[in-house]
Amino acid sequence: MHKQTISSIRRALAAREYSSAELCQHFLDRIDSANPELNAFITVTRESALAAASQADEQLAKGASSPLLGVPLAHKDIFCTRGVLTSCGSRMLENFVPPYDATVVSRMQSAGAVILGKTNMDEFAMGSSNENSFFGAVTNPWGEGRVPGGSSGGSAAAVGARLVPGCTGTDTGGSIRQPAAFCGITGIKPTYGRVSRYGMVAFASSLDQGGPMAATAEDCATLLACMAGHDPRDSTSIDEPVPDYSASLGDSINGLKIGLPKQYFAAGLDDTIAAALQAAISELEKLGASFVEVELPNQHLAVPAYYIVAPAECSSNLSRFDGVRYGHRCDDPADLEDLYKRSRSEGFGHEVKRRILLGTYALSTGYYDAYYLKAQKIRNLISRDFTTAFETVDMILGPTTPTPAFELGANSSDPVAMYLNDIYTIPANLAGLPALSAPCGFSGELPIGLQLVGNYFTENKLLNVAHQYQQVTDWHSQLPARFA
């Protein structure tokens, strides 16, 4: 059962080939067996999952139908879940149990999903390797001793090892797409504002966006349709109709024009990834797509601009964790200042502290104009690069990551090297554009991902191109041998 996609699971449940309870138990058994090695889950909600599966079976028996009825899923531990631990991978929230559900969570439940638990992540979504979690590092199912990517590494590893057929993730600078590439699955970051951020613990509010992670583009289309839509509780949510993403998956891509930024195929890109991308380009050409070179002249400024904007917003958002209202509180504070200092020092990990310091400095008097304001100007330039490119092409194709998954600990002492892992993903976040990563090959035994970036609200086009590609290749259906 674990080798089936969400689409095939939905058909099997409707045909009563097996029950949701049986399916749920199967995945829970796989989690019990594999999670001690992978550390992909922080919390497993066994009892509530089995109860929800039984309820789904009752509805299925009555002929009920909803997009995810009886399908097991999991949520990244950054989404608030009523009555269930929501830790954000941090000691600061190791005992936080929210009294409400995030909009994404409630929409998934309304669609009939059975939630198996909460997946591990870099603390407060800050990281590219999932080594920054208070609950320990996550391991890539494709390579012992390799990172799964971050910050949604727990979700990517869980789907990659087929401990669950689909997961939610969040993407601030590539945190859905980069781990999807490292773990050989499909993940999409929608247009900023397409998915509600209500109940999604904030890292960088102008960049954060929730999205789905699954084996195939078809499954991501199903999940995204359930997640997306306007939410009046989120001031950044866009009131734009949500299309039926699955309905356009069979559209021909004949005549589609795809841009290849020469900046993405320059020095620094691993040779095996470049070769895999060229093979993917050839497959898409056979399907009728054409390719032209495009210029994105300011893309080299994306990483430095991002690491001013994101830490600045992080500094502001995380100021609420002060030991007073909720979250970690130090023992026996001498006074209010001591409470603040020790609670935050004890509650936050090294990477979070680094970004808070960076962001606070960039926002401080005398440096705001020199750093933060300049970074926002660069952000506008990067957005204009994409706007100009989309005047001549329908979407852009490039690598998701510069290298395959690296070894655990390889970049831990070099923050700059770690940050450069997001060099190809960050521009889409700065511009607020939708972007998708799909498997396109292997470097040795490690997966490779290709990235598609589209214009605003063209998620359906990205999903269709990835789906068409997955109809003529099988990279997305391959599993790590030890989890097959």
Which distant-in-sequence residues (6+ apart) come within 8 Å of 323 by Cβ? 329, 330, 333, 339, 340, 342, 343, 344, 347
The phi-psi region of residue 160 (left if phi > 0; otherwise alpha if psi is between -120 and 50; otherwise beta) is: alpha
Identify any residues that bridge with 200 across adjacent strands, giving them in sequence order: 79
What average pLDDT score do residues 422-428 get?
Answer: 97
Tokens 């890539």 sit on residue: 140
What average pLDDT score do residues 63-84 get?
Answer: 96
Dist CA 343 CA 319 (whole Å): 12
- 73-82, 161-170, 204-213, 365-374: segment of lowest average pLDDT: 365-374
Dist CA 240 CA 230 (whole Å): 7
The per-residue pLDDT of the chain, averaged, comes to 97
Whether 413 shows a pLDDT value over 90: the answer reads: no
What average pLDDT score do residues 208-236 get?
Answer: 98
Q: What is the pTM of this model?
A: 0.97
Whether 416 shows a pLDDT value over 90: the answer reads: no
DSSP line for 408-420: TTTTTT-HHHHHG
DSSP line for 30-65: HHHHHHHHH--EEEE-HHHHHHHHHHHHHHHHTT--
* Element at 423 (helix H, strand E): none
DSSP line for 318-354: GGG-SSSSSS---SS-SSHHHHHHHHHHHHS-HHHHH
Nearest to 372 by CA among 171, 208, 234, 206: 206
Contact 170, 151 (CB under 8 A): yes
Whether 221 shows a pLDDT value over 90: the answer reads: yes
Task: Convert 240-253 to b/e letters by CB count within 10 Å (16 or more is b).
Answer: eebeebbeebeeeb
Dist CA 272 CA 227 (whole Å): 35
What average pLDDT score do residues 348-363 get?
Answer: 96
CA dihedral 339, 340, 343, 345 (to 10 degrees): -130
- State which CATH number among 3.90.1300.10, 3.40.190.10, 3.40.1160.10, 3.40.50.2000 fits the domain covering 6-253+473-483: 3.90.1300.10
Positions marked catalytic? 76, 151, 175
Query: ∠ CA 46-49-55 to the nearest 5 degrees?
Result: 145
Residue ranges of the domains in the chain? 6-253+473-483
Q: Kindly report, residue by residue over 426-478, the tens digit of the pLDDT.
A: 999 999 999 999 999 999 999 999 999 999 999 999 999 999 999 999 999 99
Which amino acid appears at position 99 of this protein? P
Dist CA 156 CA 44 (whole Å): 16
Find the helix packing angle between 374-389 and 302-317, rounded to 10°: 130
- Confidence at 258, pLDDT banded by 50, 70, 90: very high
DSSP line for 103-118: HHHHHHHHTTPEEEEE
Q: Kindly report, residue by residue over 294-317, the tens digit of the pLDDT.
A: 999 999 999 999 999 999 999 999
